[in-house]
Amino acid sequence: MPLMDEFKEERDLVKNRSFKEKMSYFWDYYKWHVIAGVVCVFVVFSLVHTILSRKETAFYAALINMAEITSSTEYKEEFARRGEVDLQKSTVYFDVDMHLDLSSMDDVTTQTTQKIMVYISAKDLDVMLGDLEAINLYSYNGVLSDLRDFLTEEEYRKYEPYFYYMDRAVLEALEDDPTVDYPANPMDPETMKDPVPMAILLPETSKFDKVYAHAPNIYFAFIVNSGRPELSHLFLEYVTEN
């Protein structure tokens, strides 16, 4: 019997059945189509909801090898108020899910380095706070901004006693020999051939320390391609307050 005739005969049989039998027939033959349709609708709805409800990033700080010792919500909200950031529409990130241990290069370290490079490539990362290991790594890899290009004259005078310097001569040597050592004292430009200020040593005590645990010496640096300089300057002022 031709396929169309079979289909017509089956349709006529179903037409004379009870509602319950019709629903049973429909489910037996079309349940996978229904399930697939429901899944597709759910996926589309979830995607649309995510796009519509997603907030823009107003500011992003990478806090490397740090941990919250108390809720940072109030700290973030205060910074947002100062920067006139509407947290209903935008988000401020103080990302503590970044950990580096270059001596082991474990999965966490690998994921952190990849994450940082992704955010830098997308121009989403504004500042970096980290220990000497992290600042050495990113200073000598072209990630951090020369402070002479970023700070105002007033800021430069204020923070100059706390500058971390990269030696451009060491940077050039590293291109030929990756085993070259970093300067023994990055705070002393007199020991370097071509010092470049790249980061600022944070004070030992500040309001920042009441929220985050970290190593004794933490440095603050601007990301070279940050697109939000005003908030970056404001954050420097904010984390150095007592």
Encode pLDDT of 52-71 as tens digits.
335 789 999 999 999 999 99
Shared domain check, 156 and 107: yes
Shared domain check, 47 and 65: no
| Contact by Cβ (8 Å): 93, 128 | no
Structure tokens of 218?
């933490």
What mean pLDDT value characterizes the chain?
83
The pTM for the full model equals 0.76
Alpha-carbon gap, residue 167 to 185, rounded angstroms: 11
Across residues 99-112, what is the average pLDDT?
Answer: 88
Shared domain check, 29 and 61: no
Q: Tell me the backbone φ, ψ of residue 198, rounded to 5 degrees.
A: -125, -20
Shared domain check, 65 and 16: no
Encode pLDDT of 162-185 as tens digits.
999 999 999 999 999 989 999 999
Shared domain check, 235 and 176: yes
**Count of Cβ atoms closer than 10 Å to residue 96 Cβ:** 20
Shared domain check, 145 and 218: yes
Shared domain check, 130 and 26: no
CA distances from 174 to 164, 180, 181 (A): 19, 6, 9
Shared domain check, 30 and 99: no
The domain spanning residue 101 has which CATH number?
3.40.190.10
What is the total count of domains within the chain? 2
Judge whether residue 33 has pLDDT over 60: no
Q: Which residues constitute the domain of residue 20?
A: 3-52
Shared domain check, 43 and 104: no
Alpha-carbon gap, residue 29 to 24, rounded angstroms: 9
Judge whether residue 229 has pLDDT over 70: yes
Residue 221's nearest CA partner among 123, 157, 142, 167 is 142
Q: What is the DSSP string of 142-153?
A: T-BPPHHHHS-H
> Which of 5-14, 167-176, 210-219 shows the lowest mean pLDDT across its residues?
5-14
Shared domain check, 133 and 150: yes
Shared domain check, 118 and 68: yes
